[in-house]
Amino acid sequence: MSLLPGSRLQEVRRMMPIYKEAVEILQEDKPDLTVIIPTTFSSDIIKAVESNTSKWNVPVVLLPGASLKEKYEAFNVYN
């Protein structure tokens, strides 16, 4: 599963708790769920995402500075 938390810090802070709830619900049906999160190169964004996802009970793969092609590839991982 891929998540796009945004490129602005306020946006990331607002979205990550919502994503956490969604991931917990999805994990009930898919216990082997892995989350892929493309981010910007911004160290503030990366730190915010890492801080939030460190508390999640699923594996999380960050793709800092992911290109458009890499983002589309991440979207297709589970297709």
d(CA 66, CA 40): 7
Domain range for 19 is 9-75
1 lies in some domain = no
Cα dihedral 58, 64, 67, 15 sign = positive
Mean pLDDT, all residues of the chain? 90
33 lies in some domain = yes
48 lies in some domain = yes
| Confidence band for 57, pLDDT divided at 50, 70 and 90 | very high
pLDDT at 21 over 50: yes
**36-55 confidence digits (pLDDT tens):** 999 989 999 999 999 999 98
pLDDT at 64 over 70: yes
17-45 b/e (C-beta count within 10 Å ≥ 16 → b): eebbeebeeebeeeeebebbbbbbebeeb
50 lies in some domain = yes
pLDDT at 3 over 50: yes
Q: How many domains does the chain have?
A: 1
26 lies in some domain = yes
